[in-house]
Chain A
Amino acid sequence: MKLKDESIRFLSFIIILLIVTSILTSLRIKDSQYLLTDSGVKERDLSSLRKIKSTTELLSESIYSFFFLDFGKTLTGESVNSHILERLEPTFVLSFFVILIGSFFGILFFLLVIYFNNYYFESFFLFFSKLILSTPIFLFAILLFIIFFLELGFLPPGGYERGDISYLILPGLSLGIRIVARIFIFGTEESKAEIKSPLIRILKTRGYSQNIIVFKYIFYKVLPLIIILIILDLSSLLSGAMIVEEIYFFPGIGKSTFTAIKNMDENLLRALLIYSGIIFYCMTRFARFLQFKLTNIYE
């Protein structure tokens, strides 16, 4: 029954995704002739460009592309699949870098706060976490750009080179800082609830050290929920961090999406909409499945 429900849900998601993709693509590609104004294209050659595709035509193209994984070519003549594959590597590297630093510091800070159990220490981290979550990511990106490139000149202003971690630091910090804040707030709240549980009280009365209670029992209890949080963050990172990639000229999926919108690249836009939709959907469903496995709660 659950498998049937899940299949119906996925099928209806795919149908609606393809319809929405076609509508958004048809909106974007209207009157794209002006892009060729200065290119020397002759009047008679414009006839094929003048034909504006209807949403139904675009829908059938989207269905064909989805089932045969053939998205055609980009405006520059490159295959859409190879274009996306080329950008997947930097996107994956950046996403895993962000998740690594975000989860490491987030977990470290909340464990320290729980371990030392100091009001001022906790308030300090909590204040900064809330501050971070209520500030747009691009402001951090700009501030880090000003400090580390314009002022100190330590790090490159943008771009990406395989194997060179310095290109990942600024975009990674801009994106990771929110993950640190989210994991800190979530981890602290969950751990505080856990401290009040009968198990921890018994451990305390039996004289277990704070080290063992925090780093073994509380940490292992909270970890599964933090993993779910990390998977949800990873799903949005894999869909492309458009604004940060644009600020740092990072050649990932996000920058590619922005370029596709600006250049009215129908095939690329369609492929990226379907790609980000499916990645996000599958990861969130996986996170829910994991949540069910770990907590035995299902909707």
Chain B
Amino acid sequence: MLKLPALAFVAACLSACSVAPAGETVHDPFEAHNREIHAFNKSFIEKIPRGNGDGPGLPPEIKNRIVGFADTVSLPGMVLNGIMQGDVEGVVTNGFRFLFNSTVGVLGMFDPATTMGLVEHETDFGETLAVWGIQEGAYLEVAFLGPTTERALAGRVVDAIIDPLKFVGHPKRLEYATIGSLAAGAVKLSDASDTIDSVLVDSADSYAMLRLLYLQNRRYELRTTLPEESFDPYEGIYGGQ
């Protein structure tokens, strides 16, 4: 029932995906609103009790099981996106990862595929849209989800709708998958608490820093890093060519 409004939202986003002015690596026309959401997200994340990396927390073995399960339930979606991107290697790797880890790997709680050299090709519909030539659009910060772009957010909505997991396995799989993904999110959040602190607490302008880190890393993953991001500091000091 949610599908129609969601699809309408995606269509509206894509037709309206704003284009960055030439030479600018950050396109943030909604900055004032984004900053309000950032303040909310920051205060929310600071309230979550989390380990400092040294604390007792969960043993790494348990954490790996939780993250492994969440990765496995996301693999069918990644295979579908790989097909839409024409990424044969990614489809084969993720497909075999799903076959091995969901069976021999006991629903992904163990990861025999990686031991066999099948390292996950992480992907999503946002990447599919990028491969299809859709622009990145404006930078957005969304409540609870954090940093994203118009294209990546549209991709998340589509991924939820087209998730092929609903066609395979146990009837309760979607509920388990959601719980697994949330638990994995909590584990990743606690593991990254040092990094989160260093970005959110230690940065002079945590909004601008998170935006810059997210965009650089996202563009790297999509192989769309802008050439002007790598610059020559010697030009201007010793006189460039």
Q: Do A and B come from one complex?
A: no
Report which A residues bind B (CB closer than 8 A). Answer: none
Report which B residues bind A (CB closer than 8 A). Answer: none
